[in-house]
Structure 1
Amino acid sequence: KNEYDTFMSSNFFVVRFDSDGNVLKTDVSRTSTVSEDEAQELAKEIVDSGKTDGKTGKYRFKITDSSDGGIVAVFLDASNEIVSYLRVLALSASVGLVCWGLMLVFVILLSKKAIRPIAENIEKQKQFITNAGHEIKTPIAIIRANTDAMELYNGENKWSKNIKDQTERLGGLMNDLLFLARMDENAGKVVTAEFCISELLEKEIENFRQSAENKDIDFSDDIAPEVMLTADRAQIEQLISIMLDNAVKYTDNGGEISVKLEKTERHKKIYFFNTCSEVPDSDPEKLFDRFYRGDKARTQKNGGYGIGLSVARSIAEANKGTISAKYTDNGIRFEIKF
């Protein structure tokens, strides 16, 4: 009864055919959107197609045989059904969005609460490094001054030279740690200006060429002329110095170092390559971790302490650049891209 009531409350029309396919009767009293001629034309089209049920346009149809051998074609207006589908779809989407929004707020609140202790610990570590660095600078300066005074009275000896070398090493380490702390806190000021990176690179190469010759290193360069770069000149100079110092320190006697600067349509790229006796078997990205040493040869005797490349990456990123490393068959290749 419910299905019949639903059907009778819907918009529909009926077309009856005799056994020869002639229209006997057309009932369009239950719809106002179709005339008799339109109903007959649509019914003939469906009957000729041989279909017994389906959908055409906004109507669902059913073709059945009548008791007198004829055919009855019933067409039901399904537009209300489409509207219902759309309403359900819109309601489901609205409920889904509300649930998603509530879940997002819930996750944000929980994540903030969960991350807060970690963020506080990281902040305390940064503050500790900054404070410790400033505190350590004073005794380093005193040790250096006392060593100089001692050498004035007793002359230089291997012990005083050792003290001076180690204080210089410790001072350099503290300066790098303080620099990284400032960069982590976004306090490292980047004063950008346009300058010729070609000239700066050539100048820095000359500063390290003698150190390379002392180790019989074959030092080659290929610098594109008049390449301009907008960045912090002092920081870029420090970056180049770190990369060249790194190359000279970790290249074996008789090895090779090459530096290349090229300009593409969108980027300026600097390549540093140096040979090494043993290529590390770890991920090249680890070379940029703080205090990481890529191979056994990278010991204290080389003067490094595993933080230079971390500083280099911080400088590159602060000046909207990237730095990456790649192993070759006989060495390591660094690429800096601005």
Structure 2
Amino acid sequence: MVKKLRKKFVVTAMLSLLLILVIMIGVINIINVRHIVSEADNLLTMLADNDGYFPNLRKNMIFDPNNPDTLVSPDIPAGDATSDGSTTDVAASEASNDITAPHPGDPNNPFQFDRLNNNRDAEMPYQTRYFWVKLDSSGNITEVNFGHIAAVSEEIASEYAINVANEGKQRGYYHTYRYIVSTKNDGSKLIIFADQSAAILNALTLLLQSVLVGLCALIAMFILVYIFSSQAVAPVVESLEKQKRFITDAGHELKTPLAVISANVDVLEIESGKSEWTTSIKNQVARMNGLVKNLLTLSRMDEERMHVVFSDFDMSKTIKDTAVSFEALATSKGKKYQMDIEDGIHITGDKNAINQLASLLLDNAMKYSSESGSIHVLLNKGSKYITFEVSNTCDAIPSGNLDRLFDRFYRADSSRARETGGYGIGLSVARAIATSHGGSIEALRDGDKIIRFVVTLPKQLPKNIQKQNK
């Protein structure tokens, strides 16, 4: 019980932490991706508003008289050589006119936002890899500019532009390029592509790093939670231990007076004969004995030290003997009683526990089946599992999750339980027995008036159960 409680605590804590980490990593990376897209869109919008050029490079430029399709600086004609024989970079000469003086501050401190923003704005024209294509209103290419990127040729730029124009979207991604389609008043289009390879790679790197950090944090937290889990569940374990000790002690203490009462009633019947009073006393003693037995069974199973003897036995005969013992009672109450038990089914398990399991389910069916209703007992086998089922008609099947029926002291109809003498622990014991054999039990609805309790048991005892009982 302590191991199970500790395991549940660790699993719950780790699942909660995992959920928090997934949300945090997801939010961080989503914000990063949205920022990348926003930055790219702002850049493309600025280029589109300036006919494909950066503002500080576009102003004061004129068309080359010798080449009307080329923009040049009016101060230094395109292609003119400088004094050292090299050609002048028009973009550099124009951009240098707009670079402001360095910001004051500590030169050894790189984390100054004003300086960072100023440098970024100044260097953006040289760091941005982009190209653009112009199309007329008929969709024909009129101009291609790929001088700001090395990975794209004129043919590739034209192909990308035609494909994007045919898609009909205004913004989006095409391969690793973010694009914008700017439509002019005359129907012509300017399609600008900005290379996002570095940004996408950075986003993937951040995702990988955040996942690795999350995994390391998860492993570290697992170690800490596992170490301190015993202390965390200690108060609950202590309370459960006291509860189990009380049930065990009370059960054993009740056995003696119940035995004395039963013996005294027998003596009274010998001396004075049977009467309704002695019969009532014996019935109540039998009920109390059954309650004490079930409580002790649950207590021993909780402590995982229930004395069970596993062996191979004929389950068909055991179930049939138990079912036959209830047949007369069902007939006396006017209930239809049907047995469909396959012969020759053997199982490795505790014969007494399986007998108790069958008795509990049949007793439950007798108590809660409708008047003049029917009870059906079924036993068959598959390739690996054995199915034992007890079904009965009832006036009203409890709504909601039927798994609650296996909770201790749960009774769907308290007034009916008082009439039938139920305490709400029989099905809990049945589940404990099925679990101790490596099996399961579930309650199922079959229409509105039939409830089925299906027990599934393995033919061979699982290895973990075998180890626990060695």
Q: TM-score, normalised by structure 1?
A: 0.69
Which amino acid letter does the alignment assign opposite residue 417 of structure 2? R
Aligned pairs for 1:145-156 within 5 A? 145-152=263-270, 154-156=271-273
Change (3 A) 1:145 1:264: same
Equivalent residue number for residue 221 of structure 1: 339
Matched AA of 1:234: N
Q: 1:205 to 1:281 in 2, by over 3 A?
A: closer
1:336 Cα shift? 1.1
Q: Percent identity?
A: 40
> In the alignment, which of 294, 301, 304 is matched to residue 412 of structure 2?
294
Does residue 323 (structure 1) correspond to residue 432 (structure 2)? The answer is: no
In structure 2, distance between residues paired with 1:206 and 1:281:
28
CA distance in 2, matches of 1:290, 1:85: 53
**Residues 1:218 and 1:92: Cα distance change in structure 2 (over 3 Å):** closer
Secondary structure of the 2:417 match is coil
Corresponding letter in the other structure for 2:396 = V
Q: 2: distance between equivalents of 1:93 and 1:306? A: 48
Matched, 1:273 2:356: no
Q: Which AA in structure 1 matches 2:408?
A: R
Measure the CA separation in 1 of the matches of 2:418 and 2:235.
Answer: 36
Q: Deviations over 1:67-86 (max 9, x none)?
A: xxxxxxxxxxxx99999999
**SS of aligned partner of 1:297:** helix
Give the C-alpha shift of residue 240 in structure 1. Answer: 1.0
Q: Does 1:187 align with 2:310?
A: no
Change over 3 Å in CA distance of 1:89–1:280 after alignment to 2 = closer
Query: Are 1:270 and 1:337, in contact at CA under 8 Å, matched by a contact in 2?
Result: yes
1:88-127 equivalent positions in 2, closer than 5 A: 92-108=210-226, 112-127=230-245
| Structure 2 unpaired stretches of 5+ | 1-98, 100-118, 120-196, 458-470
CA deviation profile, 1:236-272 (whole Å, cap 9, x unmatched): 1111122122222333442211112222334221221
- Whole-Å Cα distance in 2 between the matches of residues 115 and 190 of structure 1? 29
Q: 1:226 to 1:110 in 2, by over 3 A?
A: same
Q: Supply the AA of the counterpart residue of 1:264.
A: G
CA-CA distance at 1:162 after TM superposition: 2.1
2:377 aligned counterpart, secondary structure: strand
Indicate yes or no: 2:343 matched with 1:198: no
Conservation of the 8 A alpha-carbon contact between 1:316 and 1:323 = no
Hey, what does 2:156 align to over in structure 1?
Answer: none
1:334 match: 453
Q: Check 1:136–1:268 CA distance in 2 against 1; reply closer, same or farther (3 A cut).
A: same
Q: Is the 8 A contact 1:282 1:294 kept in 2?
A: no
Gaps of 5+ in 1: 3-78
Hey, what does 1:22 align to over in structure 2?
none
Match of 1:130 in 2: 248
**Paired residues of 1:326 and 1:334 also in contact (CA < 8 A):** no
2:243 counterpart letter in structure 1: Q
Tell me the distance in 2 between the aligned counterparts of 1:327 and 1:182.
34
The one-letter code of the counterpart of 2:272 is G
Per-residue deviation, 1:203: 2.0
